[in-house]
Amino acid sequence: MADYALGIDLGTTNSCVSIVENGKPFIIANKTGYKTTPSVVAIAESGKRLIGQLAKRQSITNAANTVYSTKRLIGRSIDDPEVQECMNTFPFEIVEGPHHDIRVKMRDKLYSLPEISAMILSELRQVAEEYIGADIRQAIITVPAYFNDAQRQATIDAGKIAGLDVMRIINEPTAAAIAYGSQTNRSQTIAVFDLGGGTFDISILSIDDGLFNVLSTTGDTFLGGEDFDNRIIEYLVLNFAREHDVDLREDPMAMQRLKIAAEKAKCDLSELQSTEINLPFIQTSPDGVALHLNATITREEFENLVIDLIKRSLKICQIALMEANVTQDDIDEVVLVGGMTRMPLVQEAVSQFFRKQPAKNINPDEVVAMGAAIQADELLHQGQKHILLDVTPLDLGLAIHGGKFHVIINKNTTIPCSNTTVFTTSFDNQTSLRIVVLQGEHTLAADNQVLAEFTFSGIRPAPAGTVDVEITFDVDADGIVNVIARDLETKQEHVVSIERSSNLTEDEIKRMAQENAEYLVSEKEGEKMRNAIAQVRNRMEKVQKLISARDIPDALSGYVTAVLSRASKAVNEAKDIRNLEIAMRDLEKTIALIEETT
């Protein structure tokens, strides 16, 4: 049995990986020493993938081939209003895929969003495997509590493409609650306020002796740190246009520089009362004069720019309390999650709303991954220390006559759960019933996500309203929905188990997984080759220095020249690592001979 399973917080802005070691969750630092990895992917001109910091650093000069914030788009259709908005602002190209899904274009190749997420997951997996020194396949990946089935399945597909066995998908606030709850034995009701880079969730949970019971969860999958960044960008663009009569939005490279500067300014203003933004040569005026952007933003100005976003999050908090049937006074502790909760005004607003100071003993950037790791470790070793009772994040129901959405299972119903509704035929001699299963919160059926469609046939011809068909929705502990249609007169029934779909076919997922695995193997071999070349060059330089510093006997001189020649050829050709290994051995032998004889 494997000794480790990963807990992964796959974030909009940053991602994080954790394991349980010696009974405690531990965040694994990436190759650059940071505990979080930017959720940014780029393709270099050479075709090499760049992930995390490497991708972010070159995003200004390679904006069209650098992809970020895909978590906001994953699992959505191309015609979603949020997607259309992003298509107008992102510097990389977003196009329609073969299944009405979203693809992004980098270096003339189209990638699905699960593929992009898989690249990030592969990087995190590799970091963990290098730390542990063993292959790891099992993982729990977290998602926003407000994600629908398509978004959840797209995340599972990303895990599959990355070569991971996704043990479970759990909600980010729930994972944070597990990490927090593992530090205390006290029974309490907590609110998890999760304001991340791209999404916002609020969950109300009761914790009692290892039982985590989600009372309610709600959120906004398009409210997060990026919206705060965008307010700074809009402010700078508007002021620059007023001063120079130039619209920076028409220049992708300038906008990418602004994005990076805005994110830094936002972070700075959590610590400072004001910050300067200096971007020299950001644009050229119509008459050819170089233009520079120099601006100072105070914390107060920034707070005025984003106060409506914070109020928006608090309105959602009020809904969560109402749906949990609790008040602020019933909340024992408030747990802050996500980088945006470092902003002083966010902390102040949350404190005022819940009428208490948030917990200070957790790291908002790491707590989700740590909670996921705790749960993954327990599943791996079949432990039951923490038991989760989660809820349905959205209403489940059917499309009915008149284009309306009839709810059968309400959001925030504890799973597993089941509910039954009886429908009658709507017109004379109706012999079949078209059943469209929906998920969402809109009153109009067309505005909700279609989970499945099927036809229930064999109904006895009769006048409208005289034949009853019983529809039962059954949701298991993993959130899988089963729908049972039953003719109450004939007892005939039709059962459909709704499998989540991300719009990728199984064949596509297998092909993408194979391509990802082949790339990683190729890259690993390439890294070995590059390391071998570097080592050979290092030894060649040492031989050259020894030749320059010592009097080499004629009998040895010809041998040394031949060894250097073969080594140089092996480096220049760089076709076979075995030739480099031979060259390395010869150079080591040559160094030893020179040092012994001179």
User: Looking at the annotation, which residues are catalytic?
Assistant: 9, 71, 172, 194
- How many CB atoms sit inside 10 A of residue 31's CB? 14
Do the beta carbons of residue 425 and residue 459 sit within 8 Å? yes
Would you give the end-to-end CA distance of the chain in angstroms?
56
| Short-list 257, 261, 256, 236, CA closest to 246 | 236
Site of tokens 């809904």: 319
Looking at the DSSP bridge assignments, the partners of residue 420 are 472
Coil, helix or strand at residue 13: coil
| Short-list 278, 235, 281, 282, CA closest to 254 | 282
CA 555 to chain centre: 64
Looking at the DSSP bridge assignments, the partners of residue 274 are 298
| Buried b / exposed e along 432-442 (16+ C-beta atoms within 10 A) | ebebbbbbbee
Side-chain half-sphere exposure of 532, counting CA atoms within 13 A: 24
**DSSP code per residue over 388-417:** EE-B-SSEEEEEETTTEEEEEE-TTPBSSE
Tell me how far CA of residue 194 lies from CA of 106, 234, 345, 357, in angstroms: 32, 25, 15, 15
Q: Return the beta strands (E) in 445-597 as ranges.
A: 449-457, 468-475, 481-487, 493-498
| Short-list 333, 391, 336, 332, CA closest to 367 | 336
**DSSP code per residue over 228-249:** HHHHHHHHHHHHHHHHHS--GG
Distance between CA atoms of 574 and 501, rounded to whole angstroms? 45
Integer-rounded Cα radius of gyration of the chain: 29
Coil, helix or strand at residue 59: coil
Do the beta carbons of residue 441 and residue 477 sit within 8 Å? no
Do the beta carbons of residue 285 and residue 246 sit within 8 Å? yes
Q: Could you tell me whether strands 102-106 and 109-112 are parallel, antiparallel, or unpaired per DSSP bridges?
A: antiparallel
Report how many helices (DSSP H) and strands (DSSP E) the chain contains, helices first: 13, 27
Do the beta carbons of residue 467 and residue 459 sit within 8 Å? yes
* Token code pair at residue 167: 């043990």
Distance between CA atoms of 581 and 571, rounded to whole angstroms? 11
Distance between CA atoms of 215 and 204, rounded to whole angstroms? 5
Do the beta carbons of residue 136 and residue 5 sit within 8 Å? yes
CA 145 to chain centre: 13
